[in-house]
Chain A
């Protein structure tokens, strides 16, 4: 039975005028996506009275070849191939008025190795589209043929561990606080104390660049003095993420070169520098044996709301292509947004070679990573030693746990704070490996370790019971299949 959404062909299709997108070929319910297609999953919220299928077709159209009216010049091209095809529209469980729309794009629509090109198509034009109240890019399936046009992370988790000589436990870090106002000399003091006390890394915050209170060269010089002193004091490889984010590429390259000349093992950039700049810095890092840390500054402006924007799982996929080695990905238990299941989905995208579809963690598609290196997730924001068992349970072993306040805010000072974190971590990993039910017995394991470590005892006393229990705004929408018992 015709339902008014049939594709038109020939003269009917190309007569001048305005046609519904679904009739122009952007809705193909019988379409079988090819292995080489890029697939996007959008959550669409049509305006009242707008047919969801027409809305999905419009998104497909506007993110590929269409404009608002029929153009005869389509007929000079293999336009059937270039049209994105919405092929499936499902209501979102328990969310009236919202629909999941699956849209397939032919590989030829995209330039190899360019996140800028990919995003210009997929999110370039459609998010302000009037027939939609809201639109969210939930997930993407990236074909191996497309992934192979990127180098991915230059270092990756395994080589980072080999380079740092650090195995079998999460890495430990801290962001220097206060994040603004310290002079270079005072800033380096925090770095020295934290690294000597037992952390592997310290970190510039996202907005530490080159301000009146501290010129970037000063920061780099004092930080590297601190790194080398701490390395000698412990016999470990240490690092501090020197933030090279700046107003221009030229300036970023200049800062990165200086970090390299001083012997830093790692530099950092902010997400706000943009996809092209990130890819350029990833190439630079690849040429210079440098670990590249990405702070996801700004992401919550478009990742947090469930109905509009781009899910962080998509950003994570793009960043694995772009080639950063570290990326902030949530803590579950800390102060920032992070539903446990959704966060697990992010971590899996960063760390696995293959992601099977897993609706409960928000992963809609099977995704092969074609041996692209793995990204090290970074958990930062409102975490402390007393949560060590939960952090290891939720986040696993290949992660950087960043205790900023949880190191620097220790009553006996920064070294003591760092030592408390390291002892708590090692004790918990030891207990896990020894077969202890560490999640259940976490508090006792920590209390036992604190008997040999006064700083840990003090940390547990100060931060005992500090939690951030707020409902997450971003959680996966799926229906649990009822099981019969």
Chain B
């Protein structure tokens, strides 16, 4: 399966030049861009690991693309995403988030069902990869 999180997961994987256009858009809007990675792609895993702080005051998209590639060198078989934060009052959250790196093999998720009272069901979603400890998943 292909993990569909992020703004552009239905497009072909982005090239570095394409990543640059999106990052520049974020910078031009005054948003701080950062890089994050994880080997736990659960849809509700909010906190991916931070590859450094958000790059406040960075005017250059190339610097972000550089960091993406540095992150890839160390975590090439992890999910890596680029995130842009808008600190404006009334938003103060993420404005854009897109995946820039994936493991070669994406085993996907398993739905477990627990029959409870009546015909009700309690569902749980688990990543096949997270059966293994962190760092040995992909």
Contacts and interface: CB of A to CB of B under 8 A. Distances in A.
Please indicate which of the listed interface residues B90, B119, B120 has the most CB atoms of chain A within 10 Å of its own CB.
Answer: B90
A236 interface: yes
A430 B108 contact: no
- Chain B interface SS verdict (over half): loop
Interface stretch (B3-11, B49-57, B66-74, B130-138): B3-11
A435 B23 CA distance: 12
A158 B89 CA distance: 11
Contacts of A225: 121, 123
Interface string A129-170: 000000000000000000000000000001001100101110
A422 B42 CA distance: 21
Among A237, A353, A430, A435, the one with the most B-chain Cβ atoms within 10 Å of its Cβ is A430
Contacts of B3: 234-235
Nearest to B111: A232
B10 A426 contact: yes
B95 A168 contact: yes
A412 to B, nearest CB: 16
A12 interface: no
A174 to B, nearest CB: 16
Contacts of B109: 231-233, 235
B123 A353 contact: no
A232 B110 contact: yes
Contact of B4 (A198, A427, A430): A198
Interface string A233-255: 11111000000000000000000
A224 interface: yes
The majority secondary structure among interface residues of chain A is: helix
A235 B8 contact: no
A162 B94 contact: yes
Interface residues of B, number: 40
Interface residues of A, number: 40
Interface string B60-102: 0000000000000000000000001000011111111110000
Contact of B44 (A165, A353, A452): A165
A18 B137 CA distance: 86
Interface of B: 1, 3-5, 7-12, 18, 21-22, 25, 41-44, 46, 84, 89-98, 108-111, 119-123, 125
Interface of A: 158, 161-162, 165, 167-169, 198, 217, 221, 224-225, 228-229, 231-237, 261-263, 353, 371, 374, 419, 422-423, 426-427, 429-430, 433-435, 449, 452-453
Given A225-B121, A263-B123, 12 more contacts: A165-B5, A168-B95, A168-B98, A234-B4, A235-B5, A235-B109, A237-B43, A263-B122, A353-B90, A371-B90, A433-B22, A452-B11
